[in-house]
Chain A
Amino acid sequence: MTDHSTSDEHLLLASAYVDGELTADERARAEADPMVMSIVEELRGVRSQLAVAAPPDEPRRDAAIAAALAAVPPIPSLAARRRARWMAPLAAAAAAVVLVVGGAVVVLRSGDDDDGGDQAGVEVAGRTQLEEDDAAAGAGTAPPLVAPQELATDEAEAEATEGTEATEAAATADAGAVEGQSAATTVATSLSVLVTPEDLRAFAAAPPAAVGESSAPSDALCRIGDRFLGVAQVQAVDGIVDVEVYEVAAPAERVAVDRQTCEVVLRATP
């Protein structure tokens, strides 16, 4: 303070007065004190000076928004998804990963990597679906959307989800499944709708498998047999979830990164 022998109390009172954050009693006390009201005027001056900002450069604004929009994974058309499904090597192993989320089960079906299924130690599903061109758009540093508490194989789940059309058609029933109303198994068409943020938050807050530290502490780690898998950087668009799956060979070491596109399948827990 330069010229004022202002006490902290005066300053706190004046600042809160400027912001309209005082009770009626406090406000009356402030207004009865000329010193406080003098500081109020000074702080208002500061506030108005701070509020004056040069407008951002318009081309910069457009470029920033364009860059952000480009970070959104393109939503694949149904035809493209069908095509991708049939073009994908049917012999490739697909991992069916069951994630227990609150009152629901999320199944991530992936299949562009034999090792992925093998690493996961899960049974092979009959079909695969690849949308690798989404991967670049989904690449980033966003924290994981879901944190698997438990991974398990579930052939029946994988079988029940075969066929994009059928599973999409059952999306409405799936919403009910998330709410625990039925045991329908289907592909989610909108993760944000079918899996509530509360579900995901509860899931993410669940303690991870006891695997020690990860190189990315916020990522979810799951134990599959003798191996540990991490799941991170999830993007969900129209039921297609872009997931980075990696194997953790030892604590604090990420040895293999494999970005995959998975279908999200939900079913109710018993």
Chain B
Amino acid sequence: MRSVRSAGIGEEHSVDDRSLVAAAQAGDRAALDQLLRRHYDRIHAVCRRIAGGTRDADDAAQEAMISIVRGLPRFDGRSAFSTWVYRIATNAALDELRRRRRRPSLHVVTDDHDQPEPADPMAERHLEGIAEREAIDAALDDLPEEFRVAVVLRDVADLDYAEIATVLDVPIGTVKSRIARGRGQLADQLGNRTGATGRRKDDPPPTP
């Protein structure tokens, strides 16, 4: 079996997905359960990256799962199941994001409120991981929505350009451009730009 990264998650599961979808459409709840479990983590990751917060991602992922179940009788198999699923997840995440932006914010509540003290190296690494995720979230949040969604569908959902074009209903050239510009901005914000010195922004300054 091809790896998820080299083949894309949609491709890897496409054969099995088809039979599971057919069984689920015929009323097989075990097949439906398996189908949902297979895709949940990736759906959640997409929602997480688009919606921003863990709680919003939880809500969006749950909405997406319900929409998938309700829409399954209408899924015709012309596109990959994963493409269809990520379209739903993307819409659910964007809906959640827009809802959140409409809500008045009284104070900032972080999802990782129970951050442990850096008592040992493991805890320190844990904190670093949290900090990195928050940095990525912040950088993504600064991206224009159309860039963010395109990048997430490519780098998190692992859809190819054609699939993303289908999900977003835009030409492939637009997808290509949005992904490139989105990644360029992320690279700037996350400090991946090395520049002529070959040094990361957050590297310590060279010793004299």
Chain A residues with a Cβ under 8 A of chain B: 1-4, 6, 8, 11-12, 14-16, 18-19, 21, 38, 41-43, 45-47, 49-57, 60-61, 63-65, 67-69, 71-72, 75, 140, 142-143, 145, 190-193, 196-198, 200-201, 235-238
Known pairs A65-B37, A68-B65, A142-B70; list 20 more (Cβ under 8 Å): A11-B184, A19-B160, A38-B194, A42-B192, A43-B192, A45-B187, A46-B155, A46-B183, A46-B192, A49-B192, A52-B132, A54-B48, A55-B41, A56-B61, A68-B66, A69-B33, A71-B69, A72-B32, A142-B67, A237-B73
Number of A-B residue pairs, CB cutoff 8 Å, is 166
Measured between beta carbons, the chain B residues less than 8 angstroms from A65 are 33, 36-37, 40, 65
A72-B32, A235-B70 in contact; A192/B194 too (CB < 8 A)? no
Residue pair A19, B194 in contact (C-beta under 8 Å): no
Tell me the bound Cα distance from A148 to B8 in angstroms: 38
Chain A residues with CB under 8 Å of B179's CB are: 15, 19
Instruction: Report how far A12 CA is from B175 CA in the complex, Å.
Output: 11
Bound-state CA distance A21–B177 (Å) is 12
Bound Cα distance from A194 to B71, whole angstroms: 17
Asked if B68 and A68 sit within 8 Å, CB to CB, the answer is yes
Residue with the highest number of chain B CB atoms closer than 10 Å, among A14, A45, A64: A64
Residue among B26, B33, B183 making CB contact with A15, cutoff 8 Å: B183
In the complex, chain A residues whose CB is within 8 Å of the CB of B61: 56, 64
Cβ-defined partner of B62 (8 Å) among A52, A55, A63, A197: A63
Chain B 132-160 residues near chain A, CB threshold 8 A: 132-133, 136, 140, 151-152, 154-156, 160
Whether the pair A68, B26 counts as a contact (CB closer than 8 A) is no
Contacts of A61 in B (CB 8 A): 37, 40-41, 44
Interface residues of B in 172-208 (CB under 8 A from A): 176-177, 179-181, 183-184, 186-188, 190, 192-197, 201
Q: How far, in Å, is B79 (CB) from chain A's closest CB?
A: 11
- A146 shortest CB reach to chain B, Å: 10
- Chain A: which residue is nearest B201 at the CB level? A2
CA of A1 to CA of B25, assembled, Å: 49
Nearest residue (CB) in A for B179 is A15
Q: Name 21 A/B residue pairs within 8 A (Cβ), A-sorted.
A: A3-B193, A15-B179, A18-B183, A45-B187, A45-B192, A46-B187, A46-B190, A46-B192, A47-B183, A49-B136, A49-B190, A53-B45, A53-B156, A64-B58, A67-B66, A68-B62, A68-B68, A69-B36, A196-B76, A197-B76, A238-B27
Number of interface residues of B (CB under 8 A): 62
Whether B195 lies near A4 (C-beta < 8 A) is: yes
List the 8 shortest-distance A-B pairs measured between CB atoms, nearest first.
Answer: A3-B195, A197-B76, A15-B180, A68-B65, A64-B62, A56-B44, A142-B70, A50-B155
C-alpha gap A47/B27 in the complex (Å): 39
Q: How far is the CA of A47 from the CA of B201 in the complex (A)?
A: 18
Establish whether residues B186 and A46, one from each chain, have CB atoms under 8 Å apart when the complex forms.
Answer: yes
Residues on A with C-beta less than 8 A from B188 are: 1-2
* Residue in A closest to B76 when the chains form the complex, CB atoms: A197
- CB of B49 within 8 Å of the partner chain: yes
Give B159 Cβ to nearest chain A Cβ, in Å: 10
B103 an interface residue at 8 Å Cβ cutoff? no
Given A3-B197, A61-B41, does the pair A140, B156 have CB atoms closer than 8 Å?
no
Nearest B-chain residue to A146, judged by Cβ: B74
Docked-complex contact A43 and B183, CB < 8 angstroms? yes
